[in-house]
Every structure is written in C-alpha cells, then in structure tokens.
C-alpha cells in the first residue's frame, strides 16, 4: 500500500496540522502518531497557536527525545508576541518552542481590533496561503467551526486535505460542499483510520 507521500503526491514540503482546542486525553496518542509519521517521512510541519491539537503537536516536537526537530516546525499565532492573549492560546509552550528553535510567526491576523474568532480565522487563512503539501485535520467534535474552516480553505485552494475524527467509531467529519470524504487508501498506521477529501469534479484538480 502507498505511503502518505504517494497519497498526497508530495515527496516533501510542509504539512499543516489543524484541529480542535478540546482534545480529550485519549486522542493525544493519535496526534502524536500523526506528528511522528510526518516527521519520519521528511515533512516539515506548520500549526497554529492554541491549546488542544496545536499544543500537542508542538509538545511532541520540542520535547522529542530523538534528534532535535524543532527547526522543522513553524507556528502561526493570531496574536502578537507582546499583547495579552486569550486563555485559548498555548502561551507557555509557544515561548518554549521559540527557544527550542521553532519559527514563530506572530500576529497573522494583521489586526488587533477584531474579535478573537475572526483573528483565528485570519490566522488559518494566512497559514494556508504558504506553500503547503497537505492539510491534516484532527476533528475533536462535529461542530468544530475552526476545523471546518481550515478544511474548506484548503479544499478551495486544491490542497490535499485529510481528516481524523475523535468521536464515535471514526466516521467522517461533516461537510456542506460538493465532494466526499473517502478512506485513506493505506493500511499503515495511523493513516488507515483517517479520511481524504475527494472533490466531486476530480481529485485535487482544477486551476
């Protein structure tokens, strides 16, 4: 069966990871396995700045016992490095990640005057405007607006989009746009439990 590089048609580059802030401790091993698999296959990683999935990915990288890999991580923050940040932000680990060698991009929302949700949305948009081999999402609940926005943004930009859900029996996440979630065609862990987006026209085609 093909590995993830073949499935997303990318031998390397940066994979963005997005997901919910309400990550149950039972789902953390999944995030860890995804992070390690992507690193093992040579990808660099990009994440946001919040608690939950973002924080877990960052921790897996900067606290790794193997050779330091923090320099392969870029963190996109919706907030500035000198402004007060809301409780959803993983402030402490962002500071540690910077010291470990990760690249931090501050205030991706480019404004201080709009609501937090809008700043996070702009952060996601900014992250996915960078060269991105694929987006991997970890859905922590079906109504996760931020994760849905990340998927929609990547799909609209023809970025290969993968998804894992942490509820029920691993059913696909909801969607309200043309296409469908299909099982990732591999038996390798942890990818065999995930989904890949197939647009209704053609897989990741278009202009």
Which pLDDT belongs to residue 178? 86
Q: In which band, very low, low, confident or very high, does the pLDDT at 206 lie, cut at 50, 70 and 90?
A: very low
For residues 133 and 15, is the Cβ–Cβ distance under 8 A? yes
Task: State the DSSP code for 172.
Answer: P
How far is the C-alpha of 51 from the C-alpha of 19, rounded, in Å?
A: 10
Residues 169-174: what's their mean pLDDT? 88
Q: In which band, very low, low, confident or very high, does the pLDDT at 201 lie, cut at 50, 70 and 90?
A: low
What is the value of pTM for the model shown? 0.92
Residues 3-28: what's their mean pLDDT? 93
Confidence check: pLDDT of 1 > 60: no
* Beta-strand pair 134-139/103-105: unpaired
Picking from 52, 55, 119, the residue whose alpha carbon sits closest to that of residue 84 is 119
Residues 135-144: what's their mean pLDDT? 96
Which pLDDT belongs to residue 48? 96
For residues 157 and 135, is the Cβ–Cβ distance under 8 A? no
Q: In which band, very low, low, confident or very high, does the pLDDT at 169 lie, cut at 50, 70 and 90?
A: confident
Which pLDDT belongs to residue 109? 83
Q: In which band, very low, low, confident or very high, does the pLDDT at 64 lie, cut at 50, 70 and 90?
A: confident
The pLDDT mean for the chain works out to 90
Which pLDDT belongs to residue 158? 94
Which pLDDT belongs to residue 203? 45
* Alpha carbon distances (Å) from 50 to 3, 148, 154: 29, 16, 19
Choice among 56-65, 75-84, 121-130 with the minimum mean pLDDT:
75-84
Which pLDDT belongs to residue 36? 94
Answer with the residue of higher pLDDT: 178 or 104: 104
Confidence check: pLDDT of 67 > 70: no
Residues 136-144: what's their mean pLDDT? 95
């Amino acid at each position: 069966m093909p590995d993830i590089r073949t499935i997303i048609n990318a031998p390397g580059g940066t994979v963005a990871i997005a997901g919910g802030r309400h990550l149950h401790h039972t789902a953390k091993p999944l995030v860890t396995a995804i992070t390690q698999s992507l690193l093992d296959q040579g990808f660099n990683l990009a994440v946001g700045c919040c608690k939950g999935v973002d924080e877990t990915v960052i921790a897996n990288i900067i606290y790794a016992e193997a050779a330091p890999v923090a320099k392969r991580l870029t963190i996109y923050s919706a907030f500035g490095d000198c402004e007060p940040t809301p409780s959803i932000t993983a402030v402490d680990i962002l500071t540690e990640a910077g010291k470990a060698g990760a690249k931090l991009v501050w205030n991706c929302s480019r404004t201080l005057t709009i609501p937090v949700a809008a700043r996070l949305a702009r952060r996601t948009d900014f992250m996915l405007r960078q060269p991105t081999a694929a987006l991997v999402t970890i859905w922590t609940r079906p109504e996760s607006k931020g994760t849905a926005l990340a998927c929609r943004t990547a799909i609209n930009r023809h970025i290969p989009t993968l998804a894992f859900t942490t509820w029920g029996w691993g059913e696909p996440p909801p969607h309200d746009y043309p296409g469908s979630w299909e099982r990732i065609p591999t038996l390798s862990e942890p990818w065999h439990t995930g989904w890949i987006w197939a647009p209704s026209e053609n897989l990741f085609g278009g202009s």
